[in-house]
């Protein structure tokens, strides 16, 4: 079986989170230029790096969903799951409108994977048609790539640090989301959620939506004791 056929048979959307979009990415004001570049189809190569909770995966997945909505093809591959597929999976992907490679640092030091990514980059550049978006938790100089040519290639395009939201920005985002859903999120509850639960914005949103559902079902306001009660039943 050829690598191209293998690619066609793999459910390449299996790692895509359904709700990821540019619209629900709560960006720090420092990320506005980055968002504009991701939305610009003329930016062929973009490399993102930043803290694990900064929203890099959300952005890559949002880019894929955005193209899918326009009837174009996209592939999202998290290298943190690279043990589930082989470097040959990258062969033929230059025919795709958008290839999003997440967790590049997870394959740093693996010559086979680095070579496959290097070759994919060159094929996309040569065709001049598709886009390659990549993300890692560290800047290029700190990833530990074996191939100097790969590191230089990844730096040829746009390179952005995704700035994580501050706690104040997250608290405001949670409050605004609660307002948009028609319920009140007291400041002390928002601060409690930030102190005690996952700091990723997407995870905080999912938690807030779940608490809203319980609040509606039990006809109770969101308070810290109520949040504790709900979370205890989930443990």
Q: What is the pTM of this model?
A: 0.78
Q: What are phi and psi of 130, to 5 degrees?
A: -85, 180
How many residues does this entry show for the chain?
235
Query: What are all long-range contacts of 187-191, with beta carbons under 8 Å and residues at least 24 apart?
Result: 188/224, 189/222, 189/223, 189/224, 189/227
76 Rama class: left (phi>0) / alpha (psi -120 to 50) / beta: beta
Domains, the chain, in order of start with CATH, read: 3-161 (3.40.50.300), 167-234 (1.10.8.60)
Q: Can you give the pLDDT of all 235 residues of the chain as single tens digits?
A: 344 444 444 445 566 777 788 877 766 667 888 999 999 999 999 999 998 878 899 899 999 999 999 999 999 999 999 988 899 999 999 999 999 999 999 999 999 999 999 999 999 999 988 999 999 999 999 999 999 999 999 999 999 999 888 888 888 888 888 888 889 999 999 999 999 886 677 678 889 999 999 999 999 999 999 999 999 887 6
Hunting for tokens 């700190």 — which residue is that? 142
């Amino acid at each position: 079986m050829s690598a191209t056929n293998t690619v066609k048979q793999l459910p390449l959307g299996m790692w895509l989170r359904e709700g990821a979009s540019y619209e629900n990415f709560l960006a720090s004001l420092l990320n506005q230029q980055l968002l504009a570049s991701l939305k610009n189809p003329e930016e062929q190569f973009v490399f993102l790096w930043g803290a694990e909770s900064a929203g890099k995966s959300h952005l890559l997945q949002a880019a894929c969903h955005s193209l899918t909505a326009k009837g174009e093809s996209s592939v999202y591959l998290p290298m943190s799951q690279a043990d589930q597929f082989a470097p040959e999976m990258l062969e033929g992907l230059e025919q795709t409108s958008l290839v999003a490679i997440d967790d590049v640092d997870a394959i740093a030091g693996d010559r086979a994977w680095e070579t496959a990514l290097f070759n994919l980059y060159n094929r996309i550049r040569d065709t001049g048609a598709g886009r390659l978006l990549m993300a890692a938790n560290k800047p290029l100089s700190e990833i530990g790539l074996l191939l100097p040519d790969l590191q230089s290639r990844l730096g040829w395009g746009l390179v952005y640090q995704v700035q994580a939201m501050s706690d104040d920005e997250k608290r405001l985002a949670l409050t605004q989301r609660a307002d948009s859903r028609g319920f009140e999120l007291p400041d002390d509850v928002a601060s409690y959620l930030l102190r005690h639960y996952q700091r990723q914005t997407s995870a905080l949103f999912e938690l807030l939506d779940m608490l809203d559902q319980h609040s509606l079902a039990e006809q109770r306001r969101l308070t810290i004791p109520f949040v504790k009660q709900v979370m205890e039943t989930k443990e």
